[in-house]
Structure 1
Amino acid sequence: MTSRPRRTTARSIADDLRSQIRDGSLAPGEALPTSRELAERYGVTYKTVGAGIDVLKGEGLVVGEQGGRRRVRSDRAIVWNLTAFERGQRRDSPSGDDWSTAIRDAGRDPVQHVTVTSDHADDKIARWLGIEPGAPVVQRVRLRTVDGEPYQLATSTFPLDVAEGSPLMEERDVSMPGGILASIGHPQVRVRDEITIRMPRPEESEALKLPPGTPVAEHVRIGFGESRVVRVMVTIAPGDRHKLVYEMEV
């Protein structure tokens, strides 16, 4: 009995191209063959080729460009050492905060775009800060870019009496040696981190220009002063652009 040849499907096209991406045959940033070339190679229709490419887009391996060309994802991940971040001898200076300094030390170009708003604490923020829901707070939202591309969305929330009248109210990338909180008399003495891996919300995908299928890490850092919580910072970090590092003694 003669076996029938295996039919090429969108899934098998995706499997083949995925293997080429993983073994480096298709390098980061390299353009995929055109739909015509792939249709001829696999003996299928353009529609089947498109469905196979959509599988890879959904996995975050391939991105589309204006004009219809598709390329292998080429984002360069940053190493974010959360043990060293904001700890001990902070590296803040008038030219940049601790985060910007670490990015610059890695030979990259950091920029932070800042907006400041006055708001009222929702239930989650109130629980983190240890205040009543609806209490007045100040939020500093920073879109952090590296080499011109969005890498993090960081929202720091402060009780109103901590931020009011301080540089935290300034809508610009402001930093001070030792950190702003310490300089205004509210130093953090310890922090608690909470990390959740999840899919992004629509507004996060838009702000961070996330391709479909890209998960994010939600990093919550709660900063404790001597007698109360003085800040909570929620950072949304795309999974394809970060390596999170912790170091601890055991």
Structure 2
Amino acid sequence: MTSPTRASARSIADDLRRQIRDGELPPGSVLPTGRELTERYGASTKTVSAGIDLLKAEGLVVGEQGGRRRVRADRPITWNLTKFERGQRKDSAAGDDWSTAISEAGRVPAQHVTVETEAADHDVAVWLRIPDGTQIVKRTRLRTVDERPFQLATSYFPFSIADGTPLMQEGDVSMPGGILKAIGHPQLHVRDEITIRMPSPEESDRLDLPPGTPVAQHVRIGYGAEAPVRVMVTIAPGDRHVLVYELEV
């Protein structure tokens, strides 16, 4: 687009955004140089940079070494939350239900797990139906796909359930049917809560999020015969996921 008047940062961002969404600038493509854009839009270098910064804030464009700007090219995963941890789970000694689903999609999963005990904060206590400050076991997983961070999943268990079990082991531990079932505390039903929000600084750092990228917070509370046996809080970058539910109607 060549404008007869000097374009604003907003109009430059609007036009480039349209090109990205229409496929004229496909994922992974390099944006025109700053000089090319100043000539195309009849704008100053400062105005062009401000327009590009708007697209960076939206997560549509990423900067690279050397000053190049490129259209983001992440390949999202489809995460079917109806099938996840339901029915015939695909856990094995080689990988849990999540890792198996990612492998079946032709991608390469990995999980980096740390374990600690701590006092339950208010949110976790409400989810697990325990008093605030009750001792719990916390398993934090950084899930990667094709060596890129895709999810930060933190599971909380009542200490009375996790103590002395594989849930206390560091690393990516998995068992056929899931660890909870293997230790005699299967999840009989679950409740999901999904919130869309902006990430915390720590989440942005651990998930390598470009500025302006929202996340889905997926909370899954797993219930045993009498009370919750686990709550898992998963932070999923919005640019890397398609969340799917399949329901009978």
Q: Decide: shared fold, TM above 0.5.
A: yes
The 1-side partners of 2:153 and 2:65 are apart by: 29
* Corresponding residue of 1:133: 132
The 1-side partners of 2:31 and 2:21 are apart by: 14
CA shift for structure 1 position 9: 1.2
* Corresponding residue of 2:24: 25
* Corresponding residue of 2:248: 249
Alignment of 1:48-87 (within 5 A): 48-87=47-86
TM-score (norm 2): 0.97
Alignment of 1:29-48 (within 5 A): 29-48=28-47
CA shift for structure 1 position 215: 0.9
Query: In the alignment, residue 233 of structure 1 is paired with which amino acid?
Result: M
Query: In the alignment, residue 26 of structure 1 is paired with which amino acid?
Result: L
CA shift for structure 1 position 43: 2.4
The 2-side partners of 1:67 and 1:226 are apart by: 58
* Corresponding residue of 2:206: 207
Alignment of 1:235-246 (within 5 A): 235-246=234-245
CA shift for structure 1 position 69: 1.1
The 1-side partners of 2:138 and 2:64 are apart by: 35
The 2-side partners of 1:69 and 1:115 are apart by: 37
Query: In the alignment, residue 141 of structure 2 is paired with which amino acid?
Result: R
The 1-side partners of 2:107 and 2:58 are apart by: 27
CA shift for structure 1 position 33: 1.2
The 2-side partners of 1:82 and 1:41 are apart by: 46
Task: Flag structure 1 segments of 5+ consecutive residues without an equivalent.
Answer: none
* Corresponding residue of 2:101: 102
CA shift for structure 1 position 48: 0.9
The 1-side partners of 2:139 and 2:40 are apart by: 52
Q: Indicate if the aligned counterparts of 2:6 and 2:41 stay in contact, CA closer than 8 A.
A: no
Residues 100-155 of structure 1: CA deviation (Å, up to 9, x unaligned): 00000000000001111110001110010011111100100000000111110000
CA shift for structure 1 position 44: 2.0
The 1-side partners of 2:6 and 2:28 are apart by: 30
Query: In the alignment, residue 109 of structure 1 is paired with which amino acid?
Result: V
CA shift for structure 1 position 212: 1.3
- Give me the CA root mean square deviation: 0.9
Residues 43-96 of structure 1: CA deviation (Å, up to 9, x unaligned): 222111100101111111101112221100111111100000000110001110
The 2-side partners of 1:232 and 1:21 are apart by: 39
Task: Flag structure 2 segments of 5+ consecutive residues without an equivalent.
Answer: none
Query: In the alignment, residue 132 of structure 1 is paired with which amino acid?
Result: P
What SS does the corresponding residue of 2:226 show, helix, strand or coil? coil
What SS does the corresponding residue of 1:223 show, helix, strand or coil? strand
* Corresponding residue of 1:219: 218
Q: How much identity, in percent, do the aligned residues show?
A: 72
Give the total of aligned pairs.
Answer: 246
* Corresponding residue of 2:115: 116
Q: Which moved more, 1:41-50 or 1:208-217?
A: 41-50
The 2-side partners of 1:91 and 1:20 are apart by: 41
CA shift for structure 1 position 25: 1.1
Residues 154-199 of structure 1: CA deviation (Å, up to 9, x unaligned): 0000011111111111110010100000001111111011111111
What SS does the corresponding residue of 1:155 show, helix, strand or coil? strand
